[in-house]
Structure 1
Amino acid sequence: MILYPAIDLKDGACVRLVRGEMSHATVFNTDPAEQARAFKAQGFEWLHLVDLNGAFEGKPVNGEAVERILGAIGGMPAQLGGGIRDLKTIAMWLEKGISRVILGTVALREPELVKEACREFPGKVAVGIDAREGYVAVAGWAETSSVKALDLALKFEDSGVSAIIYTDINRDGAMGGVNVEATADLAFHLTTPVIASGGVSSIEDLQALKKEEGTGIAGVICGRALYDGRIDPQAALALLSARAEEDAD
């Protein structure tokens, strides 16, 4: 199971929000590239990047910060979401060195575009499904739809999506614990790997997710708990990299 440290970008800085509220942003580092280098030095395999301003505006806003991050991590793979809503923007980010783009709003509004992107950029497209009370929210979580998370995920089962990134909005940034049950239930009903996100606040949360790895949970995104020291990177990485048979012993 891969642990993805999150770098959420707002106005060029590395921040964390509470339940997606832009007005409740805590700045953790004004130099996102420095933060990315620190995560790489700690031994993480991937980075999870979000252009928060871009998610609201529907186009890339923190592009300069993302490019500085890519320049700082020297080939370390990174996935990026926020404001990516057409094939041209997907191609642009992949050409600049992003390993995988995350499509969220467009997955709900234009599912055929997601499928086309998967055909054009195989293995490079993930779908971000952010749910509030089980229903998909889009446009930087400003709008909640009438579509259930599982129903949306099932639309992409045979399209070549590399992962579903599932976020429980009510848990995100609130340090209340990850929604293991909902994440495992989603993963169980899909063949597409699921990456958990939202509310990870302790090593116990990671242990609970690890126990459900067999359902199809392939990774977990962690933000605030890494920044404030609640989760030790080395302990977390060791836990999640352990083989399933070791966990059973």
Structure 2
Amino acid sequence: MILYPAIDLKDGACVRLVRGEMEQATVFNTDPAAQAKSFASQGFEWLHLVDLNGAFEGRPVNAAAVEGVLGAVAMPVQLGGGIRDLKTIEDWLNRGVRRVILGTIAVRDPELVREACRRFPGRVAVGIDARDGFVAVEGWAKTSTVKALDLALRFEDAGVSAIIYTDINRDGAMGGVNVEATADLAFALTTPVIASGGVSSMADLEVLKEVEHTGIDGVICGRALYDGRIDPAEALALLSAPAGGGSAGKTGEGI
């Protein structure tokens, strides 16, 4: 299971939100590139980047900060936020982003996601951000009438590399991961699932590791890494260990 440290970008700085509320942003580092270097030095294999301003405005806003990160580290980066058309997808992939995350557009224009997967195989993920089971869009500002599982199932045969599932009510709140909902989603899909939202302790990671066999391939962690609640070395050792217990049936494909 891959542990993805998160860098959420707001006004050029590295921040964390509480339940997606932009006015509840805590700045952890004004230099995202330096933060990325710190994560790289701690042994992380991937980096999760989100352009928060872009998610609200529907277009890339923190491009300079993203480029700074891409130039600072060699590790693969996945990026979401404000990516709503094929031109923007291609542009980011050409700039060095390993994988783009499509969220709002996955609800509004599923065929665009399919076309992106055809053009850029293995480099497109779908971000499903759910509030009370329903998908939220436009930086979580609006909640759709689409259920998380229904949206995920639309892309089962599209070639999506991963589904990134976030429980908005848990995100940044340090209240623990919605393990049951994440595991249920992963079990229902063949597409690998990356858990996000609410990771606050090693105990949360241990519980996720126990249900890795459902198809959970990774977990995104933000605030708990920044404030020291989770030790990177300990967490990486836990998640990279061979899966123990559980069913040997379903496992997520490597991403």
* TM-score, structure 1 normalization: 0.98
Extract unaligned runs of 5+ from structure 1. Answer: none
Aligned to 1:68: 68
SS at match of 2:160: coil
**Counterpart Cα distance in 2 of 1:217 and 1:25:** 28
Q: Residue deviations 1:6-33, cap 9 Å, x none?
A: 0000000000000000000000000000
Alignment of 1:134-213 (within 5 A): 134-213=133-212
1:14 aligned onto 2:17: no
Alignment of 1:32-43 (within 5 A): 32-43=32-43
**Aligned residues of 2:194 and 2:216 also touching (Cα < 8 A):** yes
Q: Residue deviations 1:191-245, cap 9 Å, x none?
A: 0000000000000000000000000000000000000000000000000000114
Q: Residue deviations 1:40-90, cap 9 Å, x none?
A: 0000000000000000000000000000000000x2100000000000000
**Counterpart Cα distance in 2 of 1:244 and 1:16:** 30
**Counterpart Cα distance in 2 of 1:100 and 1:168:** 21
SS at match of 2:90: helix
**Counterpart Cα distance in 2 of 1:110 and 1:164:** 16
Q: Residue deviations 1:110-163, cap 9 Å, x none?
A: 000000000000000000000000000000000001110000000000000000
**Counterpart Cα distance in 1 of 2:68 and 2:138:** 25
1:45 aligned onto 2:45: yes
**Counterpart Cα distance in 2 of 1:147 and 1:65:** 32
Which residue identity lines up with residue 106 of structure 1 in the other structure?
I
Aligned to 2:251: none
- Overall identity of the aligned pairs, in %: 80
1:31 aligned onto 2:42: no
* TM-score, structure 2 normalization: 0.96
**Counterpart Cα distance in 2 of 1:112 and 1:53:** 25
**Counterpart Cα distance in 1 of 2:163 and 2:243:** 21
Extract unaligned runs of 5+ from structure 2. Answer: 248-255
Which residue identity lines up with residue 10 of structure 1 in the other structure?
K
Against the structure 1 CA distance between its residues 157 and 247, is the aligned structure 2 distance closer, same or farther, given a 3 Å change threshold?
A: closer
Residue-pair matches, total = 247
Against the structure 1 CA distance between its residues 47 and 201, is the aligned structure 2 distance closer, same or farther, given a 3 Å change threshold?
A: same
- Alpha-carbon RMSD: 1.1
1:228 aligned onto 2:195: no
**Aligned residues of 2:210 and 2:244 also touching (Cα < 8 A):** no
Aligned to 1:215: 214
Which residue identity lines up with residue 196 of structure 1 in the other structure?
A
Against the structure 1 CA distance between its residues 208 and 245, is the aligned structure 2 distance closer, same or farther, given a 3 Å change threshold?
A: closer
Alignment of 1:112-131 (within 5 A): 112-131=111-130
Aligned to 1:87: 86
**Counterpart Cα distance in 2 of 1:181 and 1:51:** 28
Aligned to 2:241: 242
SS at match of 1:244: coil
Give the C-alpha shift of residue 246 in structure 1: 8.4
Give the C-alpha shift of residue 96 in structure 1: 0.4
Q: Which runs of 4+ in 1 moved over 4 A?
A: 245-248
**Counterpart Cα distance in 1 of 2:68 and 2:144:** 35
**Aligned residues of 2:210 and 2:245 also touching (Cα < 8 A):** no
